[in-house]
Structure 1
Amino acid sequence: MKKLLYVLTLSLSIINPAFSAPPSNFTDAKVIAKQKIYLDQASSSMGELYCGCKWTWVGKSGGRIDAESCGLQARKQENRAERTEWEHIVPAWTFGHQRQCWQSGGREHCVKDDPVFRVMEADLFNLYPSVGEVNGDRSNFNYGMAAGVAPQYGQCKTKVDFDQRAAEPRDEVKGLVARTTFYMFDRYKLNMSRQQQQLLMAWDKQFPATAWELERDKRITAVMGHSNPFVTGQRTWALGYKPVGDGVVSALPQKVSRSDAKPQVGISNAHGVVIGNRNSRLYHLPVGCPSYDNVSPKNQISFASESEALSAGYRKAGNCK
């Protein structure tokens, strides 16, 4: 009887929207994600994001990885490989740079002065428990194919291509990763390269939503008050898709300091990461530069701003408007 009551209480705590409210910051989001979304998933067959490992909850939102459950072996950082961390499927670095707050003082400035960044950082759709070392190795890399990379974490199928700055997750979550990325870029009106769109569209088609992804969407919807429309089928990403921006509730406050009171000649405030071409030594902006999406991934180098690209010896491509 006691066991039955426990199961009923656990189920209600996970799925009942009456007990839920959207998190207001990343710290709260991790606790809510544990309690409302993943509490019963630590020992499930799906496992954590990148390796499918089971784990044991520790503290308010932490966990210890069961390496034997997934054949995990540490690449270099044994301590970090033993714990779970909360992975932002779309990295905070990525949306922080596109919001432009990161360039003005890093993550701390984004959290302090950009309300949209705080919402994005705490968005439950974008959070998933993961092996700490793989989370760290993935860093802020885009998703990509790492066909030439040998296994790095024992039997874990996720691979990180450090040379190409790309991470290829295991097949079981490629569809989930794609649809989560579509959601974040759509909801917060971000710019996505043509190559990234094409890859994620292929994953979306090849790996349709699983029963767990649909259940995960329902649980998060109960907390956030809205679903991921790319999971429910309400929206479909096509090449050149124009993000809606449902979650952009305010613009980034503009603070004028002595250093930027006078605009620098030739320095743009275009949103998005500046992409440089190592071969041509030219850089391209996400807006106004036709070749932005055409730089080969192996030749790409990212800059936070035009001034950073110029300081590195790059010049703006001649076909930029």
Structure 2
Amino acid sequence: MKQLSYLSALLVALLLPGQSVADVPSSFNAAKRIAEEQIYYDQDTSFYCGCQFDFEAGPNLDACGYEIRKQPRRASRIEWEHVMPAYDFGRQRQCWIDDGRDNCRRTDEVFRRAEADLHNLVPAIGEVNGDRSNMRFGMVNTPVHEYGACNVAVSFEERTFQPPPHRRGDIARTYWYMRDTYGIEISRQQQQLFTAWANQDPVDEWEQERNRRIAAVQGNANPYVGDVAIQQAAEPEPVRSAPAIPQRSSSAEFSCSTRKNCGAMATCEEALFHLNQCGNGRLDGDGDGVPCESICR
């Protein structure tokens, strides 16, 4: 029955190749049902932690080495995570400023569409979804909280969530899609980080297949998935050319564990690593893509 629904949606999409307006689900609740039944019907791996799961039984935490931080009840279930949190696409709208998320759901059609957009929804272990909340993505310093073998880290002090390397490109491409579709502003610092992440984690087969399935159901695709030319166009245009990160083994000596300022940098290579790999935008005071200009000239 699920396969029939998917094929029917695909036929509609093929019959309407010129469709440009996404027919997103009518609500977040509807989107969750559609995502389970028509997008992830044959998928059983959680987005961040890579734990196998069943939508009814929840994730198999023992098998994937997940360690519960604090919330066993939420850790025992799968929840639908907004990659770009509702706070990010809602707080820039008047409905949110007036009276928050519930008000936007009642009064703002654009918000409802953004909240239910299938491109922005992924299955995640409930505890991780709850801990991430509306934190920004980035590289965290100490103190951090981790989840055993699940390769994510969260710093409540810094309000920063560090995703696993194999999901960082997916996150970047989702943010670009949401930015373009709903007019969401992304800071220059985050844009630089996402550009680096997209280059480090290119599109894989499941990301492409997921994009095709969503396009068949919802009527629009994420143009940053599988299109190298468009993906490169997403990079911010620097005022002047920034030196590339040297691709050599010495970068392995660097670490994001300590947040440094320019005075603590020994070389330009180290400064570039901390700007592009760790997301330390303070090193690029004028926003031209060149960190610590006293040593990166």
Q: What's the TM-score once normalised by structure 1's chain length?
A: 0.67
Distance 2:155 2:100 in 1: 25
| Contact 1:15 1:219 survives alignment (8 Å) | no
Distance 2:130 2:81 in 1: 9
Distance 2:179 2:142 in 1: 29
Give the drift of 1:39: 1.2
| Contact 1:149 1:159 survives alignment (8 Å) | no
Distance 1:114 1:141 in 2: 23
Distance 2:147 2:39 in 1: 26
Give the drift of 1:217: 0.4
Spell out the pairing of 1:3-152 with structure 2 (5 A cutoff). Answer: 10-17=2-9, 18=11, 22-42=24-44, 47-58=45-56, 64-148=58-142, 152=146
Give deviations 1:293-314, integer Å, cap 9, x for gaps. x9859xxxxxxxxxxxxxxxxx
The list of structure 1 runs, each at least 4 consecutive aligned residues, that deviate by more than 6 angstroms after superposition, is none
Distance 2:147 2:36 in 1: 25
Q: Which residue of 2 aligns with 1:269?
A: none
User: Structure 2: where are the runs of 5+ without partners?
Assistant: 14-22, 239-279, 284-297
1:238 aligns with 2:240: no
1:225 aligns with 2:225: no
Q: Which residue of 2 aligns with 1:249?
A: none
Task: Give 1:161's match in structure 2, choosing from 144, 155, 175.
Answer: 155
Distance 2:29 2:58 in 1: 19
Distance 2:155 2:170 in 1: 20
Q: Which residue of 2 aligns with 1:250?
A: none
Work out the number of aligned pairs and report it: 230
Give the drift of 1:67: 0.5
Q: Which residue of 1 aligns with 2:179?
A: 185
- Structure number with the higher helix fraction is 2
| Contact 1:151 1:159 survives alignment (8 Å) | yes
Give deviations 1:53-95, integer Å, cap 9, x for gaps. 111122xxxx511102311111001111111111000000111
Give the drift of 1:19: 7.6
Secondary structure of 2:81's aligned partner: strand
| Contact 1:160 1:166 survives alignment (8 Å) | yes
Distance 2:66 2:149 in 1: 6
Secondary structure of 1:90's aligned partner: coil
Give the drift of 1:156: 0.5
Secondary structure of 1:229's aligned partner: coil
User: Structure 1: where are the runs of 5+ without partners?
Assistant: 1-8, 242-293, 298-321
Distance 2:7 2:155 in 1: 38
Distance 1:140 1:147 in 2: 18
Q: Which residue of 2 aligns with 1:206?
A: 200
Give deviations 1:77-114, integer Å, cap 9, x for gaps. 11111111110000001111012321211111000111
Give the drift of 1:146: 1.8
Q: CA RMSD in A?
A: 2.3
- Compare relative contact order (CA 8 Å, sep 6+) and give the higher one, 1 or 2: 2
